[in-house]
Amino acid sequence: SYHTAVAATNKKILVSPLQGAQQYLSAKGQPTFGFTVQWQFAGTAGPGTAHSTTAFVGQCFVDRHGKETLETVWLLREGVPSRRDAWKATRVGTSIFTRM
């Protein structure tokens, strides 16, 4: 599951389902990975009610002290009412994750 406090909405974001895959560790231990998040918001329930989905792809880098950093690029697709609005439905960005 995925939980975030970062959003471009006033709706409360709930802990959201996450599915992903990781490449088998290479000899250098810097695997690539990908995962998707189906965002769930307060006031909606059940399958098919997510307002948007984000696909993340990236790589895990481990420094010489063992600190892991996940560097990702993401695409977020927001549901829109018609094809006419599709032009504004996709955002792209980057995120860097570190272990807390």
Residue 84's pLDDT is 95
Residue 49's pLDDT is 47
Q: What b/e readout covers 80-89, taking b as 16+ CB neighbours within 10 angstroms?
A: eeeeeeeeee
CA atoms within 13 A on the CB side of 88: 5
Distance CA 8, CA 18 (A): 19
Tell me, what DSSP letter sits at residue 18? Answer: E
Fold of the domain spanning 18-98: Lipocalin (2.40.128)
Residue 43's pLDDT is 66
- Residue-by-residue pLDDT tens, the chain, 100 positions: 776 766 666 667 777 888 988 887 665 678 899 999 988 777 655 554 447 899 999 999 988 998 999 999 999 998 888 999 999 999 999 999 998 7
Give me the DSSP letters along 76-99.
EEE--SSGGGGGGSEEEEEEEEE-
